[in-house]
């Protein structure tokens, strides 16, 4: 240690004063707290203990072993400042008061050993870390409640010693409700800081270890972008510490963000389904596409649900409603290697064809795609959230975080086939819009096969700059939260769905190949996290919350709330949707017995809160309509909506009648058992599910509104709702928790009826012109008489399925045909429906020309609710149904029939755009 007097003098230096001092260098790396595992410290009253716990890695100097880390070393090297000034040039990273007021004084008010506690050092941490679960010392035991990524320990291999350090901050000038950033002044920082003002401090040594491979800032895009521009994200390593004086913390849960730099490109797309001639000239003022008639220009940027924006919006709302901490449970990014263009940095007009070229370029090349790009996107948004809220955010990983390549919008696992999957609709776009947004590569399925490849190396950037801990415990008074990593491998077919003889033939009892991934290594024998769990579950806090990406209990798409409550145990396959395979039964037994209070997951993109008892799960809240639930904070299994992609409802009763446009009817539905029609279950005053109650025995087993018999009702299909998160507000340690779902307020996250119709394949089949079967029929069609375009096939009417009010026909050359017709659904006695649309002869003649020639386009615009952005624009093709011609046995007059423009004419609504034609005609 240097001269005490000089150090005391230095402690009082002003910002511009300079003083040199000497001190033994003791280099270390702070593993935690980190950006994704911040410290949350309880400060009740002045003078009481305020404990900050950290993990440190330390090393030896050139002269040999430095010896063990001492309390004085910690007091000198650990510095902190308020979060808001953490990166300012004049940020004052002050020394601990412990050092200034205690170490330097001859008669300290307390021994420093009582204020700083250090565990014994652990050598060879890669081999021995986390194996001390049987240690009797509670302070050391908490070391076992942490699992550092092995890659981090190996990268920091020059630091052979691991310490758990406890620092009492009660003498520090810290305030409750405030966030601070802590740093360890290392050798290089200290020596480079000699002769500099006292605020000089950086983590340059750690940055130098990571530079090159991991600490890559974004390379400049173009020739005119300099280092200080917004196109570069400055990357730092932060150690946030939040101080609170609350008895219990209110915890917000956010999951399945799927952040993607591609979203920032999509959200600027000027492509529009309907194009008219006056908008198609390749005019460009350098900033935007020039539009002369905006009636027929609704660009995709105004429709798409941008996951990146949703994350910021929902998290901000959760903090605004009182969350003290947010926990993000995986699928933080959609994949690792993201697109990197001008439009991923800022809003800038780029011709549509150039955007397509970038999106569909080779993802392995660096021209448009960069490794770790999506992690940097997430980091940037996370820092922004920290800066605006000044509250802690906790992160763990999901299955998507471990993959490298994003997939095109329409991938398939069937080689040679291109089939849409329902993930396309997560963006609130139709199939046509999604393909138009992405470009010609939308049907490429090669990247989809690569998406199945989960590897640890794809989360390395995350390990060093966001969170070095895979599994860890955050404890705050009577609350303890255990965060569990997904692990880099998934199981598509869970063990419970296999047999020894025919392991692949029984998967239909579950979900089959391509179903929601199971977490193969959560609590598996290969991982240490179940050993950590066993030690953690024995700890004293009364409110224990287990967080993971995988679900503990979650129903498949085709399982209704009524079936969960009355027909299924939580061991049944239909309630293991996206769950974990290892030790699931033991964990849920702990939940039932009360040892574990709440288990929280994500992964399945749905919202459901359940109570667990007697091997069963009962739904006490689901979807977006339950408001705030109040219940005992015990035996709760919770799954939270995705915070980006549009999540799905869990249906009420499995059957739906012919009532349409009734959201409450969709939420309730009907149960039909033992020849009786039942209303969806009831809850008693304590929130428990009561028995089914017969509702309409007197009226008969039929819907009292539409009179549909129960036997003719159909099973519900999933319906989407806004993305969001959940807020758990704790009242007292032995009382209730309030669970409130908070959903995105962005207008682009309101599910569009046209997208739902497209997803359920309504209005996607072939149509015909009623009564027009040959040219002579068309000639006799009177100009002032509207005729119907009718769907050829019937479909079942699903609850809450909206029909558009009107349809308008538009072509590329004729901007507006000026004919509006209503859309009518006509039911038969089996409750199947045909769609009918009115059209005038002149309009149909123009529509047929535009739909049948290569130099023109024809479109139909369906309107829902009178909202400009609720419209569903469709491209139309018309052609002769050649299969019918070939199978016809009529030989006489066949040549005449082949040339008849109306014989066997079908009208097809396109689900895929002709992108080459668009580039040629529309100036893309």
Across the range 31-52, mean pLDDT stands at 92
Considering 195-209, 512-526, 568-582, the range whose residues carry the highest mean pLDDT is 568-582
- Is the CB of residue 522 less than 8 Å from the CB of residue 598? no
Report which DSSP code applies to 873: E
pLDDT by residue (tens digit) across 278-306? 888 766 666 677 888 888 899 999 999 99
Cβ(624)–Cβ(608) below 8 Å: no
Asked whether residue 2 carries a pLDDT value surpassing 90, the answer given is no
Model pLDDT, residue 21: 46
Q: Give 460-500 as a 3 state SS string.
A: HHHHHHCCCEEEEEEEECCEEEEEECCCCCEECCCHHHCCC
Nearest CA to 361 among 341, 333, 387?
341
* End-to-end C-alpha distance for the chain, whole angstroms: 70
- d(C-alpha 86, C-alpha 68), whole Å: 30
Mean pLDDT (whole number) for 523-544: 88
Residue 164 structure tokens: 């758990």
Residue 274 has what pLDDT?
A: 93
* 3-class DSSP assignment, residue 907: strand
Q: What angle do CA 351, 352, 353 make, to 5 degrees?
A: 95
Give 622-641 pLDDT, tens digit per residue: 888 778 999 999 999 999 99
Q: Average pLDDT in the 714-720 region?
A: 78
pLDDT tens digit sequence for 803-854: 788 888 898 887 666 666 777 766 665 556 777 888 889 889 989 999 988 8
The region of weakest confidence among 35-44, 192-201, 619-628 is 192-201
Let me know: does 33 contact 389? Beta carbons within 8 Å: no
Phi, psi for 74 (deg, rounded to 5):
-65, -45
On whether the CB atoms of residues 337 and 221 are closer than 8 A, the answer is no
Structural contact between residues 396 and 472, judged by C-beta atoms closer than 8 angstroms? no
pLDDT class of 199 with cuts at 50, 70, 90 = very low
Distance CA(579)–CA(520), nearest Å, equals 9
- Whether 649 and 641 have beta carbons less than 8 Å apart is answered as no
Q: Name residue, tokens 């933080």.
A: 332
Spatial distance between the Cα atoms of 174 and 161, rounded to a whole number of angstroms: 30
Please state which of the ranges 184-188, 223-227, 876-880 shows the lowest mean pLDDT: 223-227
The average pLDDT across 876-890 equals 67
Rounded mean pLDDT, 540-561: 92
Q: Residue 465 — very low, low, confident or very high, per pLDDT cuts 50/70/90?
A: very high
Task: Say what the pLDDT of residue 243 is.
Answer: 97
Q: Are 427 and 266 in contact (CB under 8 A)?
A: yes
pLDDT exceeds cutoff 80 at 866: no
CA 240 – CA 30 distance, rounded (Å)? 11
For residues 219 and 703, give the distance between their C-alpha atoms in angstroms, rounded to a whole number. Answer: 63
Q: Quick one: average pLDDT of 673-690?
A: 59
Highest mean pLDDT pick, 78-82, 546-550, 857-861: 546-550
d(CA 909, CA 875): 6
pLDDT in the model for residue 816: 62
In the predicted structure, residue 196 carries a pLDDT above the cut 50: yes
d(C-alpha 117, C-alpha 142), whole Å? 13
């Amino acid at each position: 240690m240097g001269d005490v007097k000089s150090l005391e003098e230095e402690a009082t230096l002003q910002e511009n004063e300079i003083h040199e001092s000497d001190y033994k260098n003791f280099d270390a790396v702070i593993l935690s707290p980190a950006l994704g595992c911040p410290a949350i410290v309880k400060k009740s009253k002045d003078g009481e203990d305020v404990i900050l716990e950290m993990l440190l890695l330390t090393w030896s100097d050139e002269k040999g072993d430095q010896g063990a880390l001492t309390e004085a070393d910690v007091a000198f090297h650990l510095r902190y400042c308020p979060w808001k000034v953490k990166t300012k040039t004049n940020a004052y990273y002050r020394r601990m008061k412990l050092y200034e007021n205690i170490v330097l004084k001859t008669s300290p008010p307390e021994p420093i050993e009582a204020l700083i506690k250090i565990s014994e050092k652990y050598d060879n941490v890669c081999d021995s870390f986390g194996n001390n679960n049987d240690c009797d010392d509670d302070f050391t035991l908490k070391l076992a409640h942490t699992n550092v990524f092995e890659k981090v320990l190996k990268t920091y291999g020059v630091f052979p010693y691991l310490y758990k350090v406890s620092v009492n901050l009660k003498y520090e000038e810290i305030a409750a409700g405030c966030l601070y950033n802590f740093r360890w002044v290392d050798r290089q920082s200290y020596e480079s800081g000699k002769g500099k003002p006292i605020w000089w401090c950086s983590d340059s040594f750690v940055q130098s270890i990571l530079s090159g491979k991991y600490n890559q800032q974004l390379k400049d895009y173009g020739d005119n972008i300099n280092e200080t521009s917004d196109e570069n994200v400055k990357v730092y390593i932060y150690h946030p510490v939040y101080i609170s004086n609350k008895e219990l913390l209110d915890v917000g849960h956010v999951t399945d963000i799927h952040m993607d730099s591609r979203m920032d490109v999509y959200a600027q797309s000027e492509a529009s389904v309907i194009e008219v001639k006056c908008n198609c000239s390749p005019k460009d003022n350098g900033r935007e596409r020039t539009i002369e008639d905006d009636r027929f220009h609704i660009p995709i940027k105004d429709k798409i649900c941008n996951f990146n924006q949703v994350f910021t919006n929902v998290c901000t709302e959760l903090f605004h409603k009182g969350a003290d901490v947010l926990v993000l449970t995986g699928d933080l990014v959609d994949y690792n290697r993201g697109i990197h263009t001008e439009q991923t940095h800022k809003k800038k007009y780029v011709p549509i064809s150039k955007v397509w070229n970038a999106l569909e370029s080779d993802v392995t090349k660096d021209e448009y795609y960069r490794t770790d790009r999506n992690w940097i996107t997430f980091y940037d948004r996370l820092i922004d959230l920290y800066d605006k809220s000044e509250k802690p955010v906790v992160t763990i990983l999901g299955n998507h975080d471990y993959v490298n390549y994003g997939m095109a919008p329409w991938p398939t696992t069937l080689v040679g086939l291109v089939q849409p999957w329902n993930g396309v609709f997560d963006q609130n776009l139709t199939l046509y819009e999604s393909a138009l947004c992405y470009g010609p590569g939308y049907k490429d399925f090669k990247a989809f096969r690569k998406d199945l490849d989960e590897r640890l190396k794809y989360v390395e950037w995350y390990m060093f700059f966001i969170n070095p801990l895979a599994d860890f415990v955050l404890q705050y008074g009577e609350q303890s939260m255990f965060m569990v990593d997904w692990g880099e491998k998934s199981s598509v077919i869970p063990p419970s769905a296999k047999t020894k003889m025919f392991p692949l033939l029984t998967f239909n009892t579950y979900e089959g190949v391509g179903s929601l991934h199971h977490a193969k290594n959560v609590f598996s024998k290969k991982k240490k996290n179940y050993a950590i769990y066993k030690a953690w579950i024995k700890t004293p806090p009364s409110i224990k919350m287990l967080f993971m990406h995988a679900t503990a209990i979650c129903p498949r798409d085709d399982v209704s709330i009524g079936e969960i409550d009355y027909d299924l145990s939580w061991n049944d396959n239909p309630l293991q949707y996206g769950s974990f395979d290892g030790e699931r039964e033991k964990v849920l037994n702990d939940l039932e017995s009360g040892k574990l209070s709440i288990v929280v997951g994500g992964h399945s993109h749905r919202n459901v809160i359940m109570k667990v008892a007697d091997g069963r799960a009962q739904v006490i809240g689901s979807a977006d309509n339950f408001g705030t639930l109040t219940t005992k904070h015990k035996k709760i299994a919770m799954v939270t909506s995705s915070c980006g992609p549009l999540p799905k409802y869990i249906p009420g009763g499995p059957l739906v009648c012919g009532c349409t446009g009734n959201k409450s009817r969709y939420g309730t539905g009907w149960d039909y058992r033992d020849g009786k029609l039942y209303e969806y279950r009831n809850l008693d005053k304590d929130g428990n599910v009561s028995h089914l109650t017969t509702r309409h025995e007197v009226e008969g087993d039929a819907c009292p509104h539409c009179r549909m018999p129960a036997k003719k009702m159909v099973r519900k299909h999933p319906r989407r709702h806004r993305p969001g998160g959940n807020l758990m507000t704790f009242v007292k340690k032995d009382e209730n928790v309030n669970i409130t779902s908070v959903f995105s307020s962005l207008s682009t996250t309101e599910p569009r009826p046209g997208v739902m119709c497209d997803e359920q394949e309504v209005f996607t089949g072939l149509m015909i012109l009623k009564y027009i079967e040959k040219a002579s029929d068309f000639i006799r069609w009177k100009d002032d008489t509207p005729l119907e375009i009718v769907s050829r096939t019937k479909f079942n009417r699903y609850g809450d399925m909206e029909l558009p009010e009107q349809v308008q026909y538009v072509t590329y050359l004729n901007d507006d045909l000026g004919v509006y017709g209503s859309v009518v659904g006509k039911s038969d006695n089996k409750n199947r429906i045909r769609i009918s649309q009115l059209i005038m002869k002149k309009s149909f003649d123009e529509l047929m020309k535009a739909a049948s020639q290569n130099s023109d386009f024809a479109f139909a615009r369906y309107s829902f609710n009178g909202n400009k952005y609720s419209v569903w624009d469709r491209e139309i093709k018309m052609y002769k149904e050649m299969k019918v011609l070939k199978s016809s046995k009529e030989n006489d007059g066949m040549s005449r029939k082949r040339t008849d423009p109306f014989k066997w004419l079908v009208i097809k609504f396109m689900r895929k755009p002709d992108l080459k034609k668009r580039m040629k005609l529309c100036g893309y």
